[in-house]
Amino acid sequence: MSTQLDPVPVSTDHRHELGAADCGSGVAVNVPAGAGGGVPQRSVDKLHEVELVEVVDAELVDDDLPGGGAVAAYDPAAAVLAALETDAEAHLNRIRPDKTRTGYARDWQLWEEFHGWLAEQRGIRLPLSAVTVGTFVAFVTWLDEVVEAAPNSIERRITGVTSEARRRKYTVPKEATEAARRTLKPLKLDKGRQARGRGKAAAISPDDLRKMNSSPREPSRSADTPGRRRTYVVPELARLRDRALNTLKFAVAGRNEEMSELDDPHVVPTDEGLKIHVPSVKGRPGRTVPVTYGEHSDSCAVRCWHAWLKAKAEAGAEPGGPAFVYVDQWGNLGAQRLSPDGVGRAMARAARYAGMTGRRITGHSGRRGLVTTGRKRGKRVEKLRAQGGWSANSPVFWEYVAEGELFEDAATDGIGL
């Protein structure tokens, strides 16, 4: 014989007692009715054991609509093709030459850096996936006017960014790459631009540093400078940063990557000057080196560092952050650390604004200059090697040593000529 079941509302709160008086909005559960309308205790216990699940909002689709109620059929051929596509992309990336893969990764880093610069200029950060005619033309202009890259380098950057964007499944319109190359075309005909980046970096001396650190905040216009080209007027905060960066870079024979990764806690004041822990980059071991007070305020790394640190704090920088950060064209302090390329550009720009255009001065010039100047002043080779973190058998280091010793006991000196 069947038992009559009556619906009893059950609260979704596990702690709520069941009873005949329950009539709120709950979950209607049919339970056997006992004498007097009561609910058997074992039924109550069972109901308390019910585990509640998360309620998910969903939209019902009308079966009458096109595609409504239809279940997508599994297509094994499509699944295999998709898997092969994924495997092929991974394989092609693996067999790509290391130099190409590294170069494209660097190109993408520059694309990211460009977006940071653009955000400072326009007040809004665009997604990296925004590869359009506008962004690509602006990227080429930035590489030419801000980075001052050679036209051939810019052309390679366009290829690298295009390849990396497509690898990330971003859409790269054909008209965007065409516009970028049309923008580049007249730049490739400029002989001054063609000469960018050629030859070894020249060494700089303390005299050069003083000229750079006292240079004007904007370059003087020369006959070979196109009138339409925008010039960058260095804000005072950026000038203080560059003074500290360039003198400190010379003093520790720092690489661009090392100076970029330097943080405030890495620079420790002492009675003698500064004790600096140069961080490890690209698998090279870090090193701790001394920097003493200089004889001249314009080339003293210790004084320049303290002046920058004070200005940075007054501008609102949090203590313990990156040693060198971006400063926008209006003199506003950024939070992002200066990139390795930005480190190199700071030295090249200071040299150009000081009128030192007869030599190729890059971010590497300070590193070379410490060794050549040190040997001319009689500094021990081992001291110089340790300061810059060169290996004992580094051919580049010994090339710098030979340059510094070129006129020491010269073959023509003192022979009666």
| Distance in angstroms (rounded) separating the CA atoms of residues 372 and 363 | 16
Q: Residue 221: its pLDDT value, please? A: 56
Per-residue confidence band for 201, with pLDDT thresholds at 50, 70 and 90: confident
- pLDDT tens digits, residue range 106-156? 899 999 989 988 988 888 899 999 999 999 999 999 999 888 888 999 999
- Phi/psi for 242 (5° steps) reads -65, -35
Q: Which residue has the higher pLDDT, 155 or 34?
A: 155
Task: For residues 48-61, give the mean pLDDT.
Answer: 51
Query: How does DSSP assign 123-172, residue by residue?
Result: SSPPPTT---HHHHHHHHHHHHHTS---HHHHHHHHHHHHHHHHHTT---
Q: Residue 149: its pLDDT value, please? A: 87
| Distance in angstroms (rounded) separating the CA atoms of residues 204 and 347 | 10
- Please say whether the beta carbons of 111 and 122 come within 8 A: no
- pLDDT tens digits, residue range 325-365? 999 888 999 888 998 888 998 999 999 899 988 888 888 89
The CA–CA distances, whole Å, from 298 to 208, 210, 231, 248, 302 equal: 10, 5, 24, 12, 10
And the tokens for 251? 């003093």
| Distance in angstroms (rounded) separating the CA atoms of residues 369 and 202 | 8
Q: Residue 197: its pLDDT value, please? A: 67
Report the sign of the C-alpha dihedral through residues 285, 286, 290, 294, in that order. positive
Radius of gyration of the chain (CA): 34
Q: Residue 121: its pLDDT value, please? A: 82
Residue 3 pLDDT > 50: no
| Distance in angstroms (rounded) separating the CA atoms of residues 52 and 311 | 59
**Other residues' Cβ atoms within 10 Å of the Cβ of residue 87:** 10
- Pairing label, strands 273-278, 287-292: antiparallel
- Please say whether the beta carbons of 55 and 12 come within 8 A: no
pTM for the predicted model, two decimal places? 0.60
Q: Residue 18: its pLDDT value, please? A: 36
Burial of 262 (0-12, 13-18, 19+ CB in 10 A): buried
Q: Residue 220: its pLDDT value, please? A: 59
And the tokens for 252? 């520790």
**Other residues' Cβ atoms within 10 Å of the Cβ of residue 415:** 7
Q: Residue 60: its pLDDT value, please? A: 54
Task: For residues 364-374, give the mean pLDDT.
Answer: 94
| Distance in angstroms (rounded) separating the CA atoms of residues 354 and 331 | 20
Packing angle between helix 133-145 and helix 151-167, nearest 10 degrees?
A: 140
Residue 16 pLDDT > 50: no
| Distance in angstroms (rounded) separating the CA atoms of residues 395 and 401 | 10
List, in order of start, the domains of the chain with CATH numbers.
5-48 (no CATH), 97-194 (no CATH), 206-404 (1.10.443.10)
Q: Residue 233: its pLDDT value, please? A: 82
Q: Residue 26: its pLDDT value, please? A: 44
The residue written with tokens 């002043």 in the block is 377
And the tokens for 325? 């950060």
| Distance in angstroms (rounded) separating the CA atoms of residues 368 and 365 | 5
Residue 37 pLDDT > 80: no
Per-residue confidence band for 312, with pLDDT thresholds at 50, 70 and 90: very high
Q: Which residue has the higher pLDDT, 285 or 2?
A: 285
And the tokens for 164? 């990396």
In the chain, the amino acid numbered 330 is W
Length in residues, the chain: 417
Q: Residue 93: its pLDDT value, please? A: 75
